[in-house]
Chain A
Amino acid sequence: GQNIDQPTEMTATEGAIVQINCTYQTSGFNGLFWYQQHAGEAPTFLSYNVLDGLEEKGRFSSFLSRSKGYSYLLLKELQMKDSASYLCAVRDADSGAGSYQLTFGKGTKLSVIP
């Protein structure tokens, strides 16, 4: 099974940098995903890490440490439109026939204020 923890809410100022942490305990691991979800909308894919280290994609970066069961999403130069929920999701190990599954954390609601 999977246990995924992330803060429930965060607030940050427009133009600043914010780091959203995610810790996980899993019986198997095959990658960590971050999704963004605006209120009332579908989640959309942001990033994927399977190896340790930092993946950068524009203003967003995601870090993974498999030995620590830890990831973070870093958002730079915050904009008002970044106000959304950020979902951490862990893909478990292949239990046969490529049967990977994604388990989601409860999400972190980020509010960006002027």
Chain B
Amino acid sequence: DADVTQTPRNRITKTGKRIMLECSQTKGHDRMYWYRQDPGLGLRLIYYSFDVKDINKGEISDGYSVSRQAQAKFSLSLESAIPNQTALYFCATGTMNTGELFFGEGSRLTVL
């Protein structure tokens, strides 16, 4: 089983719908991150959390919200999806000591 699990892996939705992407981890890491990846733009940070009571905005947080329900769970919500949020979304975990990130397998979201 993967250490960092994302659900769903693929989702097609319509403009205006609310979407939640979920991430869970078994690595015991305190830090969790949501990135989106677009062709030609690379990985960009949406939100990150250092523990259950800590939530921080990243580079491109507008239109997104997150919830850290437990140390092992970090979900990303799109309250009202729009087509330019079509992208590949990655959850990642890490620790302060090493800085190395461990990524989930990605969630491909298409907004029509």
Chain A residues engaging chain B, CB cutoff 8 angstroms: 30-31, 33, 40-45, 48, 87, 91, 97-107
Contacts and interface: CB of A to CB of B under 8 A. Distances in A.
Interface of B: 35, 40-45, 48, 50, 56, 58, 90, 96, 98-106
A41 B100 contact: no
A48 B99 CA distance: 9
Given A33-B100, A42-B106, A48-B99, A97 B50 contact: yes
A38 B90 CA distance: 14
A101 B101 CA distance: 10
B101 A45 contact: yes
Contacts of A87: 42-43
A43 B98 CA distance: 16
Contacts of A43: 43, 90, 101, 103
A45 B43 contact: no
A33 B99 CA distance: 9
Contacts of B100: 33, 45, 48
Contacts of A48: 98-100
Binding site of B, secondary structure by majority: helix, strand, loop or mixed? strand
B42 A105 contact: yes
Given A98-B96, A100-B96, A44 B103 contact: yes
A104 B90 contact: no
A99 B42 contact: no
Contacts of A106: 40-42
A10 B44 CA distance: 23
Given A43-B90, A101-B58, 10 more contacts: A41-B105, A42-B104, A42-B106, A43-B103, A98-B96, A103-B45, A104-B43, A106-B40, A106-B41, A106-B42
Contacts of A40: 106
A39 to B, nearest CB: 11
A65 to B, nearest CB: 19
A31 B94 CA distance: 15
A29 B56 CA distance: 20
Closest 3 CB pairs of A and B: A106-B42, A42-B103, A104-B43
Interface core residue of A33, A42, A44, A48 (most chain B CB under 10 Å): A42
